[in-house]
Amino acid sequence: MRALAFAVALAGCADVGATRAPIANGVEAPDEASVEASVVALVDARGDLRCSGALIAERVVLTAAHCAADSARAEPDVAVVFGPRTDEEGVAILEARAHPDWRGEVDADVALLLLAEPASAAPLPLAPGAAAAPPPVSVRLVGYGLTAAGADDDDRRRAGDAVT
């Protein structure tokens, strides 16, 4: 499932390059006991959503490199929020490491964040063989983001199913 979690975590990024796209057909995903609880929001000091990510270990979040660059460099007060809404208290980020091949483009746009304390949610479970499944594959998409262009509703975690 970790290979699939990568796609899930990055599906809700607030900004990819110069294009912003809404999360389409998602429903609120408040169930803390489910795998959705492993999907987190990166929120700035004003409470604005920056990106989504996925908890892959007790203190490690997988996200996009363009999100990690902002978190570690330009915005040291970005925190990781666990929960169905972005207005909950966040956990500080100690360190952010982008993929060594990331050069500011889509290629290798992946990073790890080290949290200052253990997460309140369980990490995504590892599903043996999930990455090797041939298409079509059903996946669960989870993230924070807008539901439509111009909407003001990126403060909730949403989920939906898709077939690749």
User: pLDDT per residue over 51-75, tens digit each?
Assistant: 899 999 999 999 999 888 655 544 5
Question: How far is the C-alpha of 114 from the C-alpha of 21, rounded, in Å?
Answer: 28
CA of 88: how far to CAs of 68, 81, 96, in Å?
A: 20, 6, 21
Check residues 142 and 14 and name the one with the higher pLDDT: 142
Instruction: Indicate whether this model's pTM tops 0.85.
Output: no
Q: What does the block give as tokens for 70?
A: 């902002």
Per-residue pLDDT, 113: 93
Ramachandran angles phi, psi of 93, nearest 5°: -100, 125
- What type of residue is 46? R
- The contacts of residue 76 (CB under 8 Å, 6+ apart) are none
Per-residue pLDDT, 7: 41
Question: How far is the C-alpha of 8 from the C-alpha of 37, rounded, in Å?
Answer: 12
Of the chain, the percentage scoring pLDDT greater than 90 comes to 20
CA of 164: how far to CAs of 53, 111, 127, 139, in Å?
A: 20, 23, 17, 7
**Mean pLDDT, rounded, of the chain:** 76
Per-residue pLDDT, 76: 65
Q: What does the block give as tokens for 10?
A: 């990055």
- The contacts of residue 107 (CB under 8 Å, 6+ apart) are 101
